[in-house]
Structure formats: C-alpha cells, structure tokens
Amino acid sequence: MNYEFTIIVPVYNEEDNLERVEKEFKKYFEIAAKPAKVLFVNDGSKDKSQELIEAICQRSNHFTYISFVENRGLSAAIKAGFDHVDTPLLGYIDSDLQTTPEDFNELLKHIEHYDLVTGVRANRKDSFVKNMSSTIANGIRRTFTHDGMDDTGCPLKVIKSDYAKRIPMFNGLHRFLPAMILLQEGKIVQIPVRHFPRIAGTAKFGFWNRLIGPLQDCFAYLWMKKKYINYSIAKKG
C-alpha cells in the first residue's frame, strides 16, 4: 500500500512490552488518519527483543525493522530511523507505550500547517522525582533554545521527513528536535496528549542523566546553532 506516515519505535531491552506494542499498533492502523507503518530500531538489545521484533514483522507487512550491531543510544536510534524513512511524514513513539499511538491522529491534524508537531504530556503518570527533573530540564532547554516548548522530552512527535533528514544529529539531540526545526526556519507547535504509567520494563534514564546530560547538550546546541548551515534554492538551471 502507499504509506504516507512511518512511525519510528526505538527499542532497547523491551521484550516485556513488544507484544503490547504490536497489539496497540494493529488497533491504530484501523483508525490512522494517514496510511501508516512502523519502523522498529533495535538499539543493540541484549534480551529477546530482536526475536520478538522479527516475529511481529513476519506477521504483518505494516511492521519493518533495522537492528544495530551494538547499543548506541536513543539519539542514534532516532537518527537511524530518520535516515531509513521513505514516507513524507514520520512519527516517533517510545516502546514503553506511556503515550498511545491513537494520539498521533491529534498531532496529524496540525501537520499541514507546521513542520513539527510535538505532544505535551497532560497529567503525567510518573514519579514526583521524574516529573520534577523533567520540569527542570525543560526549563534549562527553553532558556538556551527559546523554542517555547514545555515538554521536548515527550515521546510522541510528527515531523515532515524532509526537515527531519536535515537535522545534524549528535548524542542527546533527541531532546532538541523542536529547536532544530526552528534552525531550519520551520514551524512548530505543541499539542496535549495522554500519558500512562509504565507497566512493564524499566526506565532507561535516571535523575542525573535527565539533568546533567541536557545541560551539557545545551552548550553543544549553542555551538551548532552558531555553525548551522541553512539555505534555500532560488533557481536551478
């Protein structure tokens, strides 16, 4: 079928969640606002995630995958997804399903007029420490980037693929996707989405790497902003 929307699902040791991911996406495909498929990016999982991913892909052509030789981190997984997408629109969601694929339809309502639509987790179902560290980290990022986004860490986004493919990624840049679209003079907007408790698997980020990592990455972003090359073609001959 003629897919218009590829949803990138990074996976690192999520064997307890993948069957639920398959079930939720099969439900979503029935109501998707645009013909959609899933691209799993296995970030060097050491559990049975790859075995489960391959079984899911064998059961349905709506699922595809790429698998890393070794663990390279979330930013690398997202970058690999950007590189391999072949549809005009792409999305991103975490495999822990603390957000739901159904809310992609809410984001897709706005993508015609924007180049990135990101979710804002309403009524977050995380611990006090996790919520507080994320609030502080988002405040730090806003101070550096002036992107106006309240929740850049929300794992539910829709981006026009040509913008995503022009993002020069580095480790930690998954936290700066709205700011990187602004560097391309693109338009961004945030839309409230639902949030759910993690019911299986373990979180991959702790208190300190939610705070220290983003602060370090802010300085890398400022360097990139100063050096970033952006141009538009006026004529070709």
CATH code, domain carrying 92: 3.90.550.10
Q: What type of residue is 134?
A: S
Is there a domain that residue 45 lies in?
Answer: yes
Q: What is the pLDDT of residues 19-55, one digit of tens each?
A: 999 999 999 999 999 999 999 999 999 999 999 999 9
* Total of domains in the chain: 1
Is there a domain that residue 235 lies in?
Answer: no
Residue 176's pLDDT is what? 86
Q: Report the number of secondary-structure helices (H) and strands (E) in the chain.
A: 8, 7
Angstrom CA distances, 116 to 4, 25, 176, stand at 15, 22, 12
Residue 149's pLDDT is what? 78
Is there a domain that residue 237 lies in?
Answer: no
Integer Cα distance of 124 and 194 in angstroms: 8
Q: Which range of residues forms the domain containing residue 203?
A: 5-227
- What is the pTM for the complete model shown? 0.84
Is there a domain that residue 174 lies in?
Answer: yes
